[in-house]
A and B are shown apart, each in its own frame.
Chain A
Amino acid sequence: MAGFKRMMGASALALATFFVAGAALAGTLDNVKARGKLIVGVKNDYVPYGYLNDKGEVVGFEVSLAKYVAKELLGSEDKIELVPVIAANRIDFLTAGRIDAIFATLGVTTERAKVIDFTTEYVSAAGPSVLMAKESTISKWEELKGKSVCGIQGSYYNKKMTEEFGITLVAFKTQPEAYRALKDNRCIGFVFDDMTLQQKLKEPDWASYKIAVAPYEFQPMAGGLRKDDAEFREAVDKAIDKAEAEGKLIAWETEFGMPHSDYIAARAKAAAAKKN
């Protein structure tokens, strides 16, 4: 047993030497200006917020917003590097310094607020809903108890699904895998962000499916920034406010085929009023 203890002690020691965590970089605004480039984490698989168009370029509602922010900070919307992120890595990318900001369908939650700062909220997005075959009779979250439902690893609502609704969650790393598993009947439904599922339903392949269970909440979305960098946050917020006041967000809703939301209209109005 002495050998075992020694080995555990050894492991702890080795760990300490192994993890020399990256020091947080202070003064993002100065960094960005020195670099001449804003590095933003965006989605590239999430219509309409950030996705690849036919030419293979990353476009979308939040991509346009990020470019607008780059223009405000650096004078040109081309002074930007778009880094594709997924839900599971975006906050790590930010805190580790890989990116300066997240504009990637980031919902505002109190847990996240403990580790990052949020910009002004700019969208109110529906939470998760469940995609199921048309003939399904389930329509409430409670009815999913004990059922196998596909999901995505690292989604913020996964714990609620298993602990509160008693769902047997089958969580995948990526969306294509989850869609395939749903078609394969490995699960009876796919719980994911309502906006994405709505878009999926428009595809001919998915004509025999429906949103069976509606979202239980709406959640404001905002950009994510490293904690306690007031200077940078104020600069980004100012840019977002300006975009809202100019009616840009409403224009982007039209451009990317989103239904016009009252939330964005109200914010645009308020921002314009504040400006005048």
Chain B
Amino acid sequence: MAGFVLHYDDKKRAVQLLITLGVVVWIAVDAATGGSAYWTRVLVRLPLLLTGSATGWPVTGGFVLNILLSIASMALATALGTIMGLGTLARVGLIRVPNLLLVNFLRNSPWLVLLFATLYFLPFEMRIFGTIVPFPPFVKAVIGLALPTAANFSEVIRGAVQSVHSGQWEAARSLGYNTFQIYRHVIMQQAMRRMIPGWMNLYAPLMIATALATVTGIQDVLTILNTLLAMENERVIVYFYLTILFLFIPYCYPIAAIARRLERAVKGDSL
């Protein structure tokens, strides 16, 4: 039986490889039979699409900016989400209820609308002790994307913490630990293992959502694509769109796949 299953997966993978190869061959054939002019345009513009400058350096935008944006948002979301997540677990109602409300509100709002909201409602510069701290659109995009992700992460934390058996709390408390110590030494140690796949699962959707940041006017890959719309003919545009669609897949897919594998590995755990 095991032999057959392996065989089946092998066959499946072979088909997928074949299709991928087919796409590559199609591109090659297309490039050889008249499409070459279009692919040349894509190649010429590729540094611009990737880094925002025609020579490829310095990085001022493009797909690399999307990646930077996703990493910065993820970092902020992790910090905010931890606070919110522990807040929703607080035993004091005054802390728990507002946190739950905020999490629910953020989870139920469309990303695009939240992004617009941060764009319009955060000031562009703030005076802190006499110095003017600017809030460029990039920072606003980071905040706008981090908010819903943080809310989702807080749910991951809540789920992970609650999955730790309540007996552990009682045992720790009877040993004289306070709440902070219990989290630090008992709960988080175990919940962390459950949290990591959930945390990673949030990344691919966040990366995908960075495409929305085009509304803040930052030079992300879609903004640049849009300016190219004016400069290239309609046939070339098709190639540009395909190229960008397929920029996202090789970046997002491996991360998502690892997250899923980890998730499966953790599933059997009894905490």
Across the interface, do A10 and B105 meet the contact criterion of CB distance under 8 Å? yes
Q: Which residue of A lies closest to B229 (CB)?
A: A176
Q: Check if B254 is an interface residue, CB within 8 A of chain A.
A: no
User: How many of chain B's residues have a CB under 8 angstroms from any CB in A?
Assistant: 27
Interface residues of A in 1-59 (CB under 8 A from B): 7, 10-11, 13-15, 17-23, 25, 35
Across the interface, do A173 and B105 meet the contact criterion of CB distance under 8 Å? no
Across the interface, do A11 and B105 meet the contact criterion of CB distance under 8 Å? yes
Q: Check if A96 is an interface residue, CB within 8 A of chain B.
A: yes
Using Cβ atoms and an 8 Å threshold, which residues of chain A touch B98?
13-14, 17
**Cβ of A10 to closest chain B Cβ, rounded Å:** 4
Q: Check if B253 is an interface residue, CB within 8 A of chain A.
A: no
Assembly CA distance A177 to B237 (angstroms): 12
Across the interface, do A176 and B226 meet the contact criterion of CB distance under 8 Å? yes
Q: Check if A89 is an interface residue, CB within 8 A of chain B.
A: yes
| Chain B 162-206 interface mask (CB, 8 Å, partner A; 1/0) | 000000000000000000000000000000000000000000000
Across the interface, do A96 and B117 meet the contact criterion of CB distance under 8 Å? no
Interface residues of B in 215-232 (CB under 8 A from A): 215, 217, 226-227, 229-230
Using Cβ atoms and an 8 Å threshold, which residues of chain A touch B123?
21-23, 96-97
Given A10-B101, A11-B105: A25 touches B127 (CB 8 Å cut-off): yes
Using Cβ atoms and an 8 Å threshold, which residues of chain B touch A166?
none
Q: Check if A66 is an interface residue, CB within 8 A of chain B.
A: no
Q: Check if B43 is an interface residue, CB within 8 A of chain A.
A: no
Using Cβ atoms and an 8 Å threshold, which residues of chain B touch A14?
98, 101-102, 104-106
Give the interface residue-count category, chain A.
Answer: 20 to 34
Assembly CA distance A7 to B106 (angstroms): 12
Using Cβ atoms and an 8 Å threshold, which residues of chain A touch B120?
92, 96
Interface of B is mostly: helix
**Cβ of A154 to closest chain B Cβ, rounded Å:** 12
Which of A11, A22, A84 contacts B121 (CB under 8 A)? A22
Which of A7, A10, A93, A176 contacts B124 (CB under 8 A)? A93
Given A18-B117, A22-B126, A96-B120: A180 touches B102 (CB 8 Å cut-off): no
**Cβ of A110 to closest chain B Cβ, rounded Å:** 23
Q: Check if B122 is an interface residue, CB within 8 A of chain A.
A: yes
Across the interface, do B102 and A17 meet the contact criterion of CB distance under 8 Å? yes
Assembly CA distance A89 to B216 (angstroms): 9
Using Cβ atoms and an 8 Å threshold, which residues of chain A touch B234?
180, 183-184
Q: Which residue of B lies closest to A20 (CB)?
A: B121
Q: A18-B105, A176-B227, A183-B234 are in contact. List 20 more A-B contacts (CB 8 A).
A: A10-B101, A10-B105, A11-B101, A13-B101, A14-B98, A14-B102, A14-B105, A14-B106, A17-B102, A20-B121, A89-B119, A89-B217, A93-B124, A96-B120, A96-B122, A173-B215, A176-B226, A177-B226, A177-B229, A179-B230
State the A residues within 8 Å of B (CB). 7, 10-11, 13-15, 17-23, 25, 35, 84, 86, 89, 92-93, 96-99, 173-177, 179-180, 183-184
22 A-B pairs with C-beta separation under 8 A: A7-B104, A10-B104, A11-B104, A14-B98, A14-B102, A14-B106, A17-B98, A18-B102, A22-B122, A22-B124, A22-B126, A25-B125, A89-B119, A92-B120, A96-B122, A97-B124, A98-B124, A174-B226, A175-B230, A177-B226, A179-B230, A184-B234
9 closest A-B pairs by CB: A22-B123, A98-B124, A14-B105, A10-B101, A176-B230, A176-B229, A14-B102, A97-B124, A96-B124
State the B residues within 8 Å of A (CB). 98, 100-102, 104-106, 108, 117, 119-127, 132, 215, 217, 226-227, 229-230, 234, 237
